Chains A and B, each alone.
Chain A
């Protein structure tokens, strides 16, 4: 699974409801751990950006561009924040994801390679290559 990628990786932290089950002390501890983790990754040059997202937002969809509420704060799949990593392989990114302080409380980390270009552009190139054969 050691795929190399020049464009870096994105960690998406999923799960919004786990915070509620913690005691104040646990909350404080996880917050401190999370901040220290991000600071260390930044110092090591491995994290280039990261932000928590507010527990609210909207979804825009369809031809008519309808606006609806979401995502729902209690969703296990809702995204609570992200890190952008400057590491060379999926294995490196997964190793970092495994250090996430939220994991024992039910957080799920999605690890995704950042693409070199828009997939619509790659698709177009593929079709062009095929046409010239």
Chain B
């Protein structure tokens, strides 16, 4: 999964730069889709909410649009290795203007399950 982190850098581009970037983006995603490597991906709106605390009692506004760490969108890739996903992330046209791409492997199973199994194994070993 590619997570696109950036502030609203595109507001600083000229109309010509914007148009050129749009064209590059379109070509980029079309190539990946034709290669069967791009699965669903979407942009996220620059607003939303954070829910935290027991029973979700804290609901606050966020994330803040000007944050460079805010996630602006995501793309799920159908590739076999982290290296291949990184190589694709490096070809993202908008990277030249700012932002960063977080590249994350989708887990086979929930890490909670993995931890629970490790505990079970440790317990088993302890009883031997």
Contact = CB atoms under 8 A, between A and B. Distances in A.
Q: Do A and B bind each other?
A: yes
Interface of A: 1, 5, 7, 10, 12, 19, 24, 27-28, 30-31, 34-35, 49, 51-63, 65, 67, 70-71, 77, 79-82, 90, 93-94, 97-100, 103-104, 106-115, 117-121, 123-124, 127-128, 131
Chain B interface SS verdict (over half): mixed
Given A54-B105, A60-B100, A118 B43 contact: yes
A119 B43 contact: yes
B112 A117 contact: no
B111 A124 contact: no
Contacts of B56: 94, 97-100, 103, 109
Given A100-B51, A109-B51, A65 B21 contact: no
Given A19-B112, A53-B107, A120-B25, A112 B11 contact: no
Interface of B: 1, 3, 8, 10-11, 13, 15, 18-19, 21-22, 25, 40, 42-56, 59, 62-63, 69, 71-74, 82, 86, 89-90, 92, 94-96, 99-107, 109-113, 115-116, 119-120, 123
A107 B110 CA distance: 15
Contact of A127 (B15, B47, B49, B99): B15
A35 B103 CA distance: 25
Nearest to B103: A58
A28 B116 contact: yes
23 contacts: A5-B45, A28-B116, A34-B110, A51-B106, A54-B111, A56-B104, A57-B102, A59-B103, A60-B90, A60-B103, A61-B99, A67-B90, A70-B102, A81-B107, A82-B74, A97-B51, A107-B52, A114-B43, A115-B73, A118-B25, A118-B43, A120-B10, A123-B10
